């Protein structure tokens, strides 16, 4: 069997300890390694000295890792060279995507770095470029084994991997899938270098995806590693299409961050025109915590002017009472033409029916809290809207003075909002029990009322916001699976611009 050339990797990190560890791990994996402690030193040495992969610390002194990559990419040999960026900082999912896209092809890895995971990522990235490398295997065996497999008789072995639930997608994505690979558990793992055909089932795709793969690390049942992660094999996916990567990112953003908003940034300013009575100031304190600036004005013209100065990064919400009289048509046309990220009118049925499709209508009969939620959902203000899932579920329970009944209208891991005709008080402990939709399971436990508001002055029903104090063990798992499936599916749906997506909450 022919042996392919050894891959050459450059490591750039200003920390001596990290640089020594990464260099030793790569040497033990059978790679040729060159190391540098600054971007300037690396740039001078690599200007005309091609490497097969760069490992770059983002926080380098003077020249940052991103600036270094930008300079290196100017060389013809480095335009498609894979980059593994490493950092000790915490980044959100959206920031990780932005960093990876700015240095593409690239991936981001947080410190501290585990040697086995580090080698797996390196092998997967090199496999994705078709570049051969040798490895002494992450298990530390002596000698070198070719990364390119020997010819196999017939078709490659077929593997079926079913990631049918949101939790499985999140676990696999975090461990391997985001890096272009999978860990498949098997008591009889295939030899390293074996080409395989993977049939990958995902909750947001109706049909399995067929992908070519290659075994880059085998963990036999008798090995010490099997006691930690289970016997199996790490498989690098060689031909994952860009649209699948895009869908995975959208779905996982929803699972990890609760981001039901599209990938573009949420509006930085919310301009409310004539809405002081509909959305009182005490209901908008969360905006200050989420760095969304709120501007209030009684004038429609002033609101449009303020919003347009944000160059398309403002959400404009207008009380429909301002759009009455002879100038209503002109004012509606002004809203349609406004350069804003989102524009909506708080309107009753009559006005809502007359609004053009470019303007969203928000029900004027909603209570202030529900109106605020509707604004956040429509304007993609993920800080508030995404953490909650709306539903309609009949609730049965008890309070100190007797039984409790009503309907649950939204839920999160922290609590719920329900409507009831029971005279609840803030601070009161409530026992609640209800069935989640679509057969997702039953939630049972206790909650403390933190907000009570009458829906209308003449109505007996009140809206109660309650924070969970205790949930049954089964209820915790049931609720988490339900929210993961719903929030992840919504992020995927919004990202991809489709009407609906089937989910499995089990």
Instruction: List the Cα angle 367/423/464 in 5-degree steps.
Output: 40
Average pLDDT over all residues of the chain = 76
pLDDT of 481 above 60: yes
DSSP string, 330-399: HHHHHHHH---SEEEEEE-HHHHHHS-TTSEEEETTS-HHHHHHHHHHHTT-HHHHTT-EEEEEEEEEEE
Task: Report the percent of the chain where pLDDT is more than 90.
Answer: 11
Tokens 């009684």 identify what position? 298
Query: Are 25 and 48 a contacting pair, CB within 8 Å?
Result: no
List strand residue ranges (DSSP E) for 133-225, in order: 134-135, 145-146, 158-162, 181-185, 195-201, 209-219
Q: Provide the pLDDT confidence category of residue 332 given band limits of 50, 70 and 90.
A: very high
Lateral strand order in the sheet of 314-319: 293-297, 269-273, 314-319, 342-347, 360-363
Mean pLDDT over 202-209 rounds to 82
Mean pLDDT over 139-148 rounds to 26
The pLDDT score that the predictor gives to residue 433 is: 94
Task: Report the percent of the chain where pLDDT is more than 70.
Answer: 73
Distance CA 93, CA 257 (A): 7
- For 323, residues 6+ apart whose C-beta sits below 8 A from its C-beta are 300, 331, 332, 345, 347, 351
Phi first, then psi: give them for residue 464, nearest 5 degrees: -120, 120
Instruction: Domains for the chain: give ranges and CATH numbers.
Output: 1-147 (3.40.50.2300), 149-257 (2.40.10.220), 269-383 (3.40.50.10850), 389-496 (2.40.10.220)
Distance CA 14, CA 56 (A): 10
Other C-beta atoms within 10 Å of 131: how many?
A: 17
Tokens 């599209």 identify what position? 262
pLDDT of 33 above 80: yes
Q: Provide the pLDDT confidence category of residue 251 given band limits of 50, 70 and 90.
A: confident
Peptide bond into 213 cis (omega under 30): no
pLDDT of 53 above 70: yes
* Least confident residue range of 63-67, 205-209, 339-343, 472-476: 472-476
> According to DSSP H, which parts of 157-197 are helical?
166-175
Q: How far is CA 292 from CA 203, 232, 266, 304, 344, in A?
A: 33, 47, 9, 17, 17
Distance CA 58, CA 55 (A): 10
Mean pLDDT over 54-68 rounds to 84
Tokens 């209503």 identify what position? 328
Coil vs helix vs strand at 242: helix
Q: Provide the pLDDT confidence category of residue 9 given band limits of 50, 70 and 90.
A: very high
Other C-beta atoms within 10 Å of 495: how many?
A: 21
In the structure encoding, which two tokens stand for residue 429, read together? 């402990």
pLDDT of 344 above 80: yes
Q: Provide the pLDDT confidence category of residue 129 given band limits of 50, 70 and 90.
A: low
């Amino acid at each position: 069997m022919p042996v392919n050339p050894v891959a050459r990797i450059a490591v750039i990190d200003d920390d001596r300890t990290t640089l020594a560890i990464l260099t030793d791990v790569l040497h033990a994996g059978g790679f040729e390694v060159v190391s540098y402690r600054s971007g300037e030193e690396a740039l001078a040495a690599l200007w005309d000295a091609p490497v097969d992969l760069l490992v770059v610390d983002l926080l380098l002194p003077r020249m940052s890792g991103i600036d270094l990559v930008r300079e290196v990419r100017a060389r013809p040999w480095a335009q498609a060279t894979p980059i593994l960026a490493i950092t000790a900082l915490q980044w959100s999912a959206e920031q990780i995507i932005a960093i990876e896209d700015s240095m593409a092809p690239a991936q981001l890895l947080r410190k501290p770095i585990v040697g086995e995971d580090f080698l797996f990522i390196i092998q997967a990235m090199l496999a994705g470029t078709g570049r051969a490398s040798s490895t002494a295997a992450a298990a530390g065996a002596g000698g070198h084994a070719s990364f390119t497999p020997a010819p196999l008789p017939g078709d490659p072995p077929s593997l079926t991997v079913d990631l049918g639930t949101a939790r499985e997608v999140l676990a696999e994505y975090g461990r391997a899938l985001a890096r272009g690979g999978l860990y498949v558990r098997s008591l009889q793992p295939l030899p390293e270098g074996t080409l395989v055909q993977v049939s990958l089932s995902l909750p947001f795709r109706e049909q399995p995806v067929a992908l070519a793969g290659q075994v880059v690390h085998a963990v036999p049942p008798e090995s010490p590693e099997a006691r930690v992660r289970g016997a199996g094999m790490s498989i690098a996916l060689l031909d994952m299409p860009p649209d699948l990567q895009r869908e995975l990112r959208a779905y996982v953003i929803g699972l990890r961050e609760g981001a039901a908003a599209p990938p573009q940034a949420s509006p930085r300013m919310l301009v409310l025109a004539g809405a002081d009575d509909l959305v009182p100031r005490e209901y908008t304190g969360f905006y200050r915590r989420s760095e969304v600036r709120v501007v209030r004005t009684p004038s429609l013209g002033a609101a449009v002017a303020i919003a347009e100065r944000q160059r398309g990064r403002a959400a404009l919400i207008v009380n429909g009472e301002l759009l009455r009289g002879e100038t209503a048509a002109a004012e509606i046309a002004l809203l349609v033409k406004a350069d804003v990220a989102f524009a909506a009118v708080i309107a009753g049925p009559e006005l809502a029916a007359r609004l053009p499709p470019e303007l969203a209508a928000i029900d004027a009969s909603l209570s202030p809290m529900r109106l605020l939620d509707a604004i956040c959902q429509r304007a993609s203000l993920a800080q508030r809207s995404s953490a909650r899932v709306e539903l309609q579920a009949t609730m049965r329970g008890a309070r100190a003075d007797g039984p409790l009944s009503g309907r649950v209208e939204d839920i999160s891991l922290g609590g719920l909002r329900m409507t009831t005709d029971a005279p609840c008080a803030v601070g009161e402990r409530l026992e609640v029990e209800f069935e989640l939709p679509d057969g997702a399971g039953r939630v049972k436990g206790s909650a403390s009322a933190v907000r009570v508001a009458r829906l209308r002055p003449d109505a007996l029903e009140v809206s109660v916001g309650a924070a969970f104090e205790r949930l049954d063990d089964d209820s915790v798992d049931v609720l988490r699976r339900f929210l993961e499936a719903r929030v992840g599916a919504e992020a995927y749906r919004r990202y991809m611009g489709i009407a609906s997506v089937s989910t499995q909450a089990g």
